[in-house]
Amino acid sequence: MKTNPRFTITSKQLIFIIIGSTIATGVLSLPRTASTNVGPDGWLAVLLGSLVPLLSLLMIVRLGRLFPDKTLIEISYLLLGKFFGFFINIGFIAHIVFFESIPLRVGTEFTSVYILPKTPTSVIALMIIIAAIYVARKGAKVIGRLNEILFYILLLDLLLLLPTLKGVDYTNILPLGEAGFLQIAQESLKTSFSYGGIEILLVIYPMVTRKDEVLKAGVVALSIITCIYVLITVVCLLVFGSEMIQHLIWPSLTLLKTVHFPVIDRLEFFFLALWLLMIPRPFINLCFAGSFSLTQVLKLDLNKYYPLMVIIVGLAIYVVALIPKNIVEVAKFATYGGYSFLIIGLGYPLLLNIAASLQKGKVN
């Protein structure tokens, strides 16, 4: 890939892009899904689930070190040929469209329930997508800066959870490990779905100016994501308990209803006001990756046609997001999206690493 200032980022910006691509609306329901089968040990399943994206990170970095200046599209064609490489690349773009349609629809749903109950969900989703398209058209450098700003807003949002710790029952997370290691390990496979988004590194690796810092940046980003996920899950378990939490659609949001201030009675609205800034973030990042990849697949001039590809990918995400009829179908889509992440985030790097090993002489 030829160097273009518009499509270059620092290793620091990479940290924030990975965090922004991973932490989405799924964190609002994560405590419930994590504790469904393991109860109080749900936070352990979340912690163990981080090993899946870590493995993905290591394989992508190894692949990137072999091809430091090539994206997934170029590597696929080089190692698998034009025929199989084409289908791999189309599958990656399709994954982005489907995977990002899920948080878009979830974000639309709770925005409709809590803030804009009389506004059609299609209109809310369209407004989010328009914002995402506008930013994604600016390129990687602008996206990196935006993700850094939004990260600090996310930290401010998380501070709103601290007052809920007053008077909690710490026995709600005891006894430790009662569900058994095997059951927790099985549940961690589901919680690993929440780490989807790290596969964006397949596209943006060659855009990082300091390739030697990519692994460190990825580990730092993944550590921050894991800490946030574990913190939210533990707090929800401490407040509600593993049984009550199963009756809540979005435990992280319901958590704020347990706190009452003399002047501020509905703390969840302040959380939502800040969280609304977080909603377009994963679409911006993955829409950028999908649009960049589509431009390369079609062999179009990046400077001329990339903005058009952003509109096409963004609208595709919007259309798919409107397919589920209700929140129950959205939950089913989320499960399918999780398996899609495993195929793309683990399967693709593994396949390409094996192909690179088999063609070691050609790669060299």
pLDDT digits (tens, 9 = 90+) for 87-124: 999 999 999 999 999 989 988 988 888 788 899 999 99
Record the pTM: 0.93
pLDDT tier, 264 (very low <50, low <70, confident <90, very high otherwise) = low
pLDDT at residue 262, rounded to an integer: 60
For residue 118, give its domain range.
5-363
Q: State the pLDDT at residue 258.
A: 67
The average confidence (pLDDT) of the chain is 89
- Report the distance separating Cα 61 and Cα 205, nearest Å: 8
CATH classification at residue 298: 1.20.1740.10
pLDDT at 191 over 70: yes
Instruction: Look at residue 178 in the predicted model and tell me its pLDDT.
Output: 87
pLDDT at 175: 86
In the chain, where does DSSP find H-type helix?
11-22, 30-34, 42-49, 51-66, 72-114, 121-136, 140-159, 181-191, 201-204, 214-240, 251-254, 267-275, 280-297, 302-321, 327-341, 348-358, 360-363
DSSP 8-state code for residue 50 = T
- Look at the chain and report how many structural domains it folds into: 1
Q: What average pLDDT does the segment 283-306 reach?
A: 94
